Amino acid sequence: MNVIGIDLTPYLKEYPEVPAKAVVLGTDGSAKGELELPPQFHTPVRLDVIRRAYLSAFTASLQPKGADPMAGKRTTAKAFGVGLGIARVPRATGSLWPRARLATNVVKGRSAHAPVVEKVIRERINKKERDLAIRSAITATAVKALVERRGHDVSSIKSLPLVVSSDVESIDKARTAREALEAVGAWRDVERAGNGIRDRAGIGKLRGRRYKEPKSVLIVVSNPHAALARAARNFPGVEVVHVNNLSVLHLAPGGVPGRLTLWSDAALRAMKDAGLFMR
């Protein structure tokens, strides 16, 4: 690109190219044909928009919290004034030495900067901007460099995006689901997630969230009641989601695009026919 004699090519962001068609694999790993990818896969990958949409979706689940306005103030303590050779903090009368109360730097005193419910803790985003972020995250699932940068093991996967026939949605046994993932080359990443499960550092391990589990394969289906959701629910890091419910939380956990995603061919057709996320 040349503008007024200045070559801007080195400064232009190179967008990854996504093939027009994807190979459809069977549950046994054999090629069943080709499928034209919907237009959602041909959107520039906008890392900034994806990050903003992730913050919007994540903060939407946060609950406002605030402190009791009278916390630390339910006391008769008062300052004794000057001339006594002691700190001029409010003190509660009692035997021996009066105990300091009410001030922010004393035991059982009030909080200096307590949380308030009026604080804005949610990131708001426009609907079209959110759809753009979802389309960008969808495109990123077809870019091998971005998938590898997230840490997924794609060494046994021949090509991306990973599209499987709709037969995978009817699998109702965990053993059969594992065999299907092994056939298409995605089981290595599930093993990687299983080996990465670790204890949480901190007090959270005593509050019902002891373990941290890496994200693994995301399976997108066309049936909201697909049997595969029950068959694969105990696989480490694996999630099964209906195509209508896709969000940046699924496609780009942590705001980082490029999650290893297994698409059902029926889900891709449903996404194209319904024009999802195309506002």
pLDDT-derived band of residue 8, with 50, 70 and 90 as boundaries? low
Identify whether 116 is part of a domain.
no
Checking if the pLDDT of 186 tops 90, the result is: yes
Identify whether 37 is part of a domain.
yes
Checking if the pLDDT of 11 tops 60, the result is: no
pLDDT-derived band of residue 17, with 50, 70 and 90 as boundaries? confident
Q: How far apart are CA 255 and CA 50, in angstroms?
A: 6
Tokens of 94: 């009692």
For residue 185, the enclosing domain spans 2-61+124-198+212-274
Identify whether 78 is part of a domain.
no
Among 75, 104, 72, 99, residue whose Cα is nearest residue 86:
99
The number of beta carbons lying within 10 Å of the beta carbon of residue 200 is: 13
Identify whether 111 is part of a domain.
no
Region of residue 148 (left: phi > 0; alpha: psi -120 to 50; beta: else): alpha
Query: CA quadruple 277, 40, 31, 176: dihedral positive or negative?
Result: negative
* Per-residue model confidence (pLDDT) at position 7: 66
Tokens of 79: 């300052």
Identify whether 75 is part of a domain.
no
Identify whether 44 is part of a domain.
yes
Chain mean position to CA 157 = 23
Identify whether 20 is part of a domain.
yes
Sequence-ordered list of residues with C-beta below 8 angstroms from that of 127, at least 6 positions apart, any chain: 279
* Per-residue model confidence (pLDDT) at position 1: 45
pTM here is 0.86
Query: What confidence tens digit (pLDDT) does each residue in 217-268 have?
Result: 999 999 999 999 999 999 999 999 999 999 999 999 999 999 999 999 999 9
Among 27, 70, 2, residue whose Cα is nearest residue 169:
27
Where residue 157 sits, what CATH number does that domain have? 3.40.1370.10
Among 62, 38, 44, 64, residue whose Cα is nearest residue 246:
38
Number of domains in the chain: 1
Identify whether 87 is part of a domain.
no
